[in-house]
Amino acid sequence: MVILKTKAGEPAVRGIQPLVNIQETDKEVILEAEMVGLSKEDINLELKDDELIITGKAREPESMKGYTLIHRERCPFEYVRSFMLNDIIDKDKINAQYENGILKVTLQKTEAAHSKKIEIKG
C-alpha cells in the first residue's frame, strides 16, 4: 500500500530532487532522502496542509582558494522535493534527523491506523 506519493504536476523548481526510500511498518513510515553536502541547519521541513516539503541548500558556496577546477561532475547542493501525506499520518508526530548525507524523516501513524491482528474464533 503506497501511502505517500510525490505530488503530481509539481512546478519546475530550482534544485535537484533527492532520491528517496520509503518504508512502512505497522506504526510508522520512514522516509530516507539522499542529500549530501549539507549541514543540519541547511535543511528545512515544512508541512503545508497535507504536503510535506523538504528543501535544502548549502548556505555558503565552498570556497576553493588557490585551486582551479579541472573536472566537474557534482552539482550545487540545492534540493527540493515534496510528498503528499494522507490521513493515517499523525501530523504532530513527525521528526527528522540528518546523518552522513541522509535525511531520515519518521512519520508516526495515528492510533486508528495501526494494524491490529484479529483472532479467528473456532
Which positions lie near other proteins, rule CB under 8 A? 1-4, 10-12, 14, 16-17, 19-25, 30, 32, 34-39, 64, 66-75, 98, 100-102
- Residue closer to other proteins by CB (options 69, 112) is 69
- C-alpha grid cell, residue 7: 505530488
CB-wise, 75 or 122, nearer to other proteins? 75
Nearer to other proteins, 74 or 121 (CB): 74
The cell for 64 is 576553493
DSSP state of 59: S
The total of other beta-carbon atoms located within 10 Å of residue 93's CB is 12
Q: Which of 42, 50, 36 is nearest to 107 (CA)?
A: 50
